[in-house]
Amino acid sequence: MKKVITYGTYDLFHEGHYRLLKRAKELGDYLIVGVTTEHFDECRGKLNVVDPILKRIENVKNTGFADMIIVEDHEGQKIEDIQKYGIDIFTVGSDWIGTFDYLNAFCKVVYLERTPNISSTMLRGNAYKLIKTGIVGTGRIAGRFISEARYASGIEVSDAYNPETESVSQFKKNFSEYDITIETEDYERFLSKVDAIYIASTNETHYEYAKQALTHGKSVLCEKPLAFTKKESMELYDLALRKHVVLMEAIKAAYCPGFQQLLNVVQSGRIGQVKDVEASFTRIANIHSRERTDPMYGGAFLEYGGNVLMPIIKILGTDYRSVTFDSLDNELGTDDYTKIQIRYKDAMATAKVGMAVKSEGQLVVAGTEGYVIAQSPWWLTEKFDVRYENETIVEHYEPRFVGDGLRYEISEFIAKIRGFGEKSYKLTAEESISITGIVEKFVKSRKIIK
């Protein structure tokens, strides 16, 4: 008897799950299906699981393909189960190609092709459906979005849009196994196929793409900067409200659990009254990259400014008194390194961004009784310390963090669309608009807009 084993969450059970189990059964004579617990899914980074485990087990049972159903609840169990049950073939979907190659030491590993154009008609829970999501732009971050979306329950990345055919060609090569429909000509046709979009295109296109999508009743997750003027940002949030859809600015640190814990510590009064916030985000970008060669819409501030402004606005608020900028430009006129000084009535802040200058990427929140320091890369907030005048007292925190952070904002986005997400406290419309106000001051100081 040839035994086959496969594992999955099987949340919001749909046709893709059904077909995958059918093909897994066809690989042998006896199929064992492992259904993961909610706790284990959280530990391995799978977020927003909707159906309880008993319902997910029942859905697998109802297919008639599983000869045995087991529960997966800890790391390393796959090897244990393969040995325990004498498994001949381990199989999962092709979107996990390479991930489980290490199991070849114990049995044969087979990656099954995904089901194209997954239908939501077989969802057992009528209250929810897969959110068909399209990506605007096909660059580096679009690829990361696809990879991280696998860990957020209820989303299907189905389409992409980019009029730049050269970028599309490379995207097709890199993500051929995902069967994503790519539109290069008609943006409205692209919008008609999806429920929501993620905008990862060049900075100057964000506002128009977002406005069109919101007008067509599509929810929008948009990379920073959302817009170049405060008026435009307010217009987009008002439009989302009128259309009863979701608009989120994709500053991923705001949605990471570690940053939320850091905020809670600061706001609890543990370090007294906050008087200063320092945030830095720098990297050495490719000298030929668009970011370093576009003096109009590239540069360190427009690429990374949102990252460093977010914690300042979250901690000190939106009522700043003044903002000043100081930049070091390259020969093309693009800012390679920019410092931002922000003054409040009773506090101040400094932000540093660079794409040709490397600095320590830390976040420091200074108070009247102590300070919080999150070491580089603070925007992932994998750990931070609370320190005091007495240097022997150090409170160390290591909150859980998985992936590269995108899955947290994706999960928040999907939860909001479904209507049971948080009420925008992680990054409010007011805070996002306030950040855009600082962006507007910068672009006006550079004479990008009048």
Which domain, by its residues, includes 377? 257-400
307 and 219 in a common domain = no
Q: Looking at residue 113, what is its pLDDT?
A: 83
Q: Is the pLDDT of residue 225 over 60?
A: yes
CATH number at residue 208: 3.40.50.720
State the Cα–Cα distance between residues 405 and 391, nearest whole angstrom. Answer: 32
317 and 289 in a common domain = yes
CATH number at residue 265: 3.30.360.10
Asked if 91 and 24 count as a contact pair (C-beta separation under 8 A), the reply is: yes
Q: Looking at residue 103, what is its pLDDT?
A: 94
Q: Is the pLDDT of residue 7 over 80?
A: yes
**Mean pLDDT confidence for 44-72:** 88
Per residue in 87-115, pLDDT tens? 999 999 988 889 899 999 999 999 998 76
- The answer as to whether 9 is a domain residue is yes
Q: Is the pLDDT of residue 126 over 50?
A: no
Q: Looking at residue 176, what is its pLDDT?
A: 74
**Mean pLDDT confidence for 131-158:** 90
Q: Is the pLDDT of residue 30 over 90?
A: yes
Contacts of 303 (CB under 8 A, 6+ apart): 203, 291, 353, 355
- The answer as to whether 74 is a domain residue is yes
Question: What are the start-end ranges of the E strands in 243-321?
Answer: 247-250, 274-282
Contacts of 319 (CB under 8 A, 6+ apart): 344, 345
Q: Provide φ and ψ at 216, rounded to 5°.
A: -90, 10
CA atoms within 13 A on the CB side of 162: 24
- pLDDT band for 13, please (50, 70, 90 cuts): confident
- The answer as to whether 182 is a domain residue is yes
283 and 385 in a common domain = yes
387 and 349 in a common domain = yes
- The answer as to whether 205 is a domain residue is yes
Q: Which residue has the higher pLDDT, 240 or 176?
A: 240
Give the 3-state secondary structure of residue 60: helix
Q: Looking at residue 116, what is its pLDDT?
A: 59
278 and 390 in a common domain = yes
- pLDDT band for 388, please (50, 70, 90 cuts): very high
165 and 135 in a common domain = yes
State the Cα–Cα distance between residues 250 and 254, nearest whole angstrom. Answer: 9
262 and 233 in a common domain = no
**Mean pLDDT confidence for 121-137:** 68
Burial class (CB in 10 A: 0-12, 13-18, 19+), 203: buried
- pLDDT band for 423, please (50, 70, 90 cuts): low
265 and 179 in a common domain = no
CA proximity to 66, closest of 2, 1, 4: 4
For the chain, how far is it from start to end, CA to CA, in angstroms? 75
Q: Looking at residue 115, what is its pLDDT?
A: 62
Per residue in 339-376, pLDDT tens? 999 999 999 999 999 999 999 999 999 999 999 999 99
Q: Looking at residue 173, what is its pLDDT?
A: 81
Q: Is the pLDDT of residue 405 over 80?
A: yes
Q: Is the pLDDT of residue 271 over 70?
A: yes
Sign, CA torsion 311/316/320/323: negative
Q: Which residue has the higher pLDDT, 123 or 167?
A: 167
In the numeric block, the tokens 């000298």 are attached to 287
**Mean pLDDT confidence for 108-135:** 68
CA proximity to 285, closest of 334, 331, 326: 334
Q: Looking at residue 418, what is its pLDDT?
A: 82
Q: Is the pLDDT of residue 316 over 90?
A: yes
Q: Which residue has the higher pLDDT, 96 or 430?
A: 430
Residue that terminates a domain, selected from 400, 424, 442 = 400
Q: Which residue has the higher pLDDT, 32 or 95?
A: 32
Q: Is the pLDDT of residue 243 over 60?
A: yes
State the Cα–Cα distance between residues 96 and 111, nearest whole angstrom. Answer: 7
- The answer as to whether 10 is a domain residue is yes
Q: What is the total residue count of the chain? A: 450
- The answer as to whether 126 is a domain residue is no
State the Cα–Cα distance between residues 430 and 427, nearest whole angstrom. Answer: 8
Asked if 132 and 195 count as a contact pair (C-beta separation under 8 A), the reply is: yes
Q: Looking at residue 124, what is its pLDDT?
A: 38
CATH number at residue 22: 3.40.50.620
Residue that terminates a domain, selected from 251, 268, 289 = 251
Per residue in 322-341, pLDDT tens? 999 999 999 999 999 999 99
Q: Which three-class secondary structure string do you get for 184-233?
A: CCCHHHHHHCCCEEEECCCHHHHHHHHHHHHHCCCEEEEECCCCCCHHHH
- pLDDT band for 304, please (50, 70, 90 cuts): very high
The amino acid at residue 137 is G
Q: Looking at residue 125, what is its pLDDT?
A: 38
Q: Is the pLDDT of residue 26 over 50?
A: yes
- The lowest-confidence range among 159-163, 237-241, 340-344, 399-403 is 399-403
375 and 267 in a common domain = yes
- The lowest-confidence range among 115-124, 247-256, 316-325, 381-390 is 115-124
- The lowest-confidence range among 233-237, 312-316, 395-399 is 395-399
142 and 196 in a common domain = yes
Residue that terminates a domain, selected from 112, 141, 161 = 112
The amino acid at residue 154 is G
217 and 101 in a common domain = no
Structure tokens at 18: 């059904």
Query: Does an H or E element contain 438, and which?
Result: helix 429-445
Query: 91-114 burial by CB neighbour count: b if 16+ within 10 A, else e?
Result: bbbebeeeebeebeeebebbbbeb
Q: How many domains does the chain have?
A: 3
Q: Looking at residue 119, what is its pLDDT?
A: 41
The amino acid at residue 254 is A
Q: Looking at residue 166, what is its pLDDT?
A: 80
Cross-strand pairs, 349? 277, 342
Asked if 52 and 6 count as a contact pair (C-beta separation under 8 A), the reply is: no
Per residue in 206-216, pLDDT tens? 999 999 999 99
Contacts of 297 (CB under 8 A, 6+ apart): 202, 203, 204, 448
- The answer as to whether 423 is a domain residue is no
Helix axes 140-149, 165-174, angle to 10 degrees: 40
Q: Is the pLDDT of residue 425 over 70?
A: yes
- pLDDT band for 128, please (50, 70, 90 cuts): low
State the Cα–Cα distance between residues 383 and 355, nearest whole angstrom. Answer: 24
Q: Hey, what long-range contacts does 96-104 have (CB within 8 A, 24 or more apart)?
A: 97/177, 103/78, 103/79
In the chain, % of residues over pLDDT 70: 95
- pLDDT band for 52, please (50, 70, 90 cuts): confident
371 and 293 in a common domain = yes
Neighbours of 16 (CB within 10 A): 19
CA proximity to 153, closest of 426, 425, 413, 381: 413
